[in-house]
Amino acid sequence: MEVKTIKDILKLQNEFVEKVQKQTTLIRKGKATSVDVLIKEKESLLVRMEERLGAATEAREKAVHRYDEEIRHHKEQVTCLKKEVSEEKQTLSRATVNVTKQSKEIGNGKRNSKGQKRD
């Protein structure tokens, strides 16, 4: 079983506890398993649990790294778009000011409709 989540680790822990309880029950009933066999089984289970824990930890680190990269990418896009919006607003503002100046000059008789000075 590949450990991918904390639930997987908890499931393995529960399996381990059940196995220990079963072995304890067998000992109480007089069907004692040799201590050496119990120790070997527990060591084997411990090794499997450690491997699964390592796999889960590695999977978590990869997922976190992937999300960090995605967040970094989105931040770069937001920064770029903010800059573009700011530049467009400045361009629009300058164009509006120029149009307003020309309209006033035409209204005052200083320029004709082509923007040329009147005599």
Residues in the chain: 119
Q: Which residues contact 57 (CB under 8 A, 6 or more apart)?
A: none
Domain membership of residue 47 (yes or no) is: yes
On whether residue 114 sits in a domain, the answer given is no
At 43 the three-state DSSP class reads helix
Q: Which residue has the higher pLDDT, 15 or 102?
A: 15
pTM over 0.85: no
Q: Tell me whether residue 119 is in a domain.
A: no
Is 79's pLDDT higher than 80?
yes
Residue 96: predicted pLDDT: 83
118 pLDDT above the threshold of 60: no
Query: How many domains are contained in the chain?
Result: 1
Q: What is the pLDDT of residues 35-74, one digit of tens each?
A: 777 788 889 999 999 999 999 999 999 999 999 999 999 9
